[in-house]
Amino acid sequence: MGKFQVISHPLIQHKLSILRRKTTSTKDFRELVDEIAMLMGYEVLRDLPLEDVEIETPITKTTQKQLAGKKLAIVPILRAGIGMVDGFLSLVPAAKVGHIGMYRDEETLQPVEYLVKLPEDIDQRQIFVVDPMLATGGSAILAVDSLKKRGAANIKFVCLVSAPEGVKALQEAHPDIDIYTATLDEKLNEHGYIVPGLGDAGDRLFGTK
Ligand code: PRP
Ligand code: URA
């Protein structure tokens, strides 16, 4: 079974409380998602491989460490995942970005895929799928299905708010992937929204409602 980790740094918890408030503006919401993604990225990228490098300080020659240059890809689930991309890119600016477009049918709660645009060598990359919300898990499961169908093998899923139902569904469907979340909330309501949650992440991020 892959790792399941709640990244509960005090800065993340503080920013998450502001993010959840219904009075938080679109501008602040966008900035907070960006900041939390960056703080989470610091932890999620902890396992990046290193290699030895010979360098010369003003004093002596020495062997030190540098990132091994493993190929990375950030894959946001549209729309709301877009809000987490820059936070990750600020840490690993050379990463490629793929996009998976998906929306949840509000009646059936089933995800509908409408776009998949990925780096050509996606099968060779360490992939970070990002989406602020893991609710029923339908969108995340379909996104990972979609990536695996194209040969992807090394996948981590990063969200801000998750529901127990979504975590369980994603773990059952894809036991090999690691899941990182900033908070594990209480439950889903009858409309498939996370409680207490933060509402509709896409609408709050882009100001569409
Ligand atoms: C939201 C969210 C996830 C999905 C989570 O997207 O960003 O992708 O719902 O729900 P699930 O776990 O039950 O699938 P939404 O469908 O609202 O699309 P949007 O980002 O375009 O608004
Ligand atoms: N999608 C959202 O944006 N919010 C939820 O609470 C559940 C799914």
C-beta of residue 157 within 8 angstroms of C-beta of residue 180: yes
The residues, ordered by sequence, that sit 6+ positions from 16 with a Cβ below 8 Å of its Cβ are 32, 36, 160, 161, 182, 183
Q: Is 204 a catalytic residue?
A: no
Rg (CA), the chain: 18
Pocket test for ligand 2, best of 185, 198, 203, 204 (most atoms within 8 A of CB): 198
Question: pLDDT tens digit string along 119-158?
Answer: 999 999 999 999 999 999 999 999 999 999 999 999 999 9
Q: Where is pLDDT greater, at 175 or 209? A: 175
**Residue ranges of domains in the chain:** 4-206
Question: pLDDT tens digit string along 154-200?
Answer: 999 999 999 999 999 999 999 999 999 999 999 999 999 999 999 99
For the entire predicted model, the pTM comes to 0.96
CATH topology of domain 4-206: Rossmann fold (3.40.50)
What is the token pair recorded at 20?
Answer: 């959840």
Atom of ligand 2 nearest to the CA of 200: 3
Q: Is 208 a catalytic residue?
A: no
| Per-residue model confidence (pLDDT) at position 70 | 76
Which band of pLDDT confidence, cut at 50, 70 and 90, is reported for residue 106?
A: confident
